[in-house]
């Protein structure tokens, strides 16, 4: 396994770059924090696990060449991107329909697997993540080992670093959540804020990012 990772100086550079990228708030972090504020620390950590699995799925796709396909075909790229945007908007509608009084009476662990699955889909249905891995990982790969196995090993390291960083965001959000919930009308306002965040993420997924050139 060690030979699949770069030499120590390059590995250290990879870890540092991964940490900086992981600490930079993006759509995944916003989704995780929103889940934590709405449903508690357990749901936030489940979201972290789901997003991590989705990110690793994208990394695996990049490792076996899907990134090249997405780069070559604007149609496939757009189809995946719009599917992810539509799913985020669906989560926004679900947030609007939620009953705050019922949410407060539910156990913290309710729907954990569902939350994990949603986090997985949010991360997986983002082709830009696949393209990112395809561009980022080769900078730290060596010609002496299998490119696919190296990419998977580096992806696992990156996803682990990102998961630890995301868990930190969860703990911070969970610490602030009780104070926010104690405010009058916070539950109702939180529902609208959560919905707005999901819709904003959906628009972000649909409208931003470099579209691959058609061939």
- Most confident residue range from 24-38, 88-102, 133-147, 163-177: 163-177
Cα→Cα distances 134→36, 54, 60, 169, Å: 30, 15, 10, 26
Domain ranges in the chain are 29-207
Please give the pLDDT value at position 105.
39
pLDDT greater at residue 120 or residue 185: 120
Sign of the alpha-carbon torsion through 210, 53, 84, 24: negative
Per-residue model confidence as pLDDT tens digits over 145-160: 777 888 888 899 999 9
pLDDT band at residue 213 under the 50/70/90 scheme: very low
126 contacts: CB under 8 Å, gap ≥ 6: 27, 54, 58, 80, 81, 84, 205
Q: Name the residue among 1, 15, 11 with its Cα closest to residue 165.
A: 15
| Residue 56 pLDDT grade (very low, low, confident, very high; cuts 50, 70, 90) | very high
* CA gap 154, 171 in Å, rounded: 26
Which pLDDT score, from 0 to 100, does residue 136 have? 80
Query: pTM here?
Result: 0.70
State the pLDDT confidence band at 107, using cuts at 50, 70 and 90.
very low
**Per-residue pLDDT, 137:** 80
Q: What is the pLDDT of residue 104?
A: 45
Over 70: is that where the pLDDT of 188 sits? no
> Is residue 95 scored above 80 in pLDDT?
no
Question: How many Cβ atoms sit within 10 Å of the Cβ of residue 145?
Answer: 14
> CB–CB of 66/212 below 8 Å?
no
- Check whether 106 has a pLDDT greater than 90: no
């Amino acid at each position: 396994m060690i030979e699949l990772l770069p030499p120590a100086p390059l590995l250290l550079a990879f870890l540092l770059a991964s940490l900086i990228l992981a600490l930079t708030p993006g759509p995944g972090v916003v989704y995780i924090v929103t889940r934590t504020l709405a449903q508690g620390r357990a749901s936030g950590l489940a979201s972290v696990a789901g997003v991590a699995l989705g990110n690793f799925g994208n990394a695996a796709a990049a490792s076996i060449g899907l990134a090249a396909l997405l780069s070559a075909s604007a149609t496939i790229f757009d189809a995946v991107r719009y599917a992810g945007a539509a799913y985020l908007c669906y989560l926004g509608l679900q947030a609007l329909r939620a009953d705050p009084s019922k949410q407060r009476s539910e156990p913290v662990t309710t729907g954990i697997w569902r939350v994990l699955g949603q986090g997985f889909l949010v991360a997986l249905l983002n082709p830009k993540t696949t393209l990112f891995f395809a561009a980022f990982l080769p900078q730290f790969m060596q010609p002496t080992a299998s490119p696919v196995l190296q990419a998977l090993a580096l992806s696992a390291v990156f996803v682990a670093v990102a998961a630890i960083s995301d868990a930190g965001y969860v703990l911070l959000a969970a610490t602030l959540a009780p104070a926010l919930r104690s405010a009058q009308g916070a539950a109702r306002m939180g529902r609208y804020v959560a919905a707005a965040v999901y819709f904003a993420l959906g628009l972000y997924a649909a409208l931003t990012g470099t579209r691959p050139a058609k061939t």
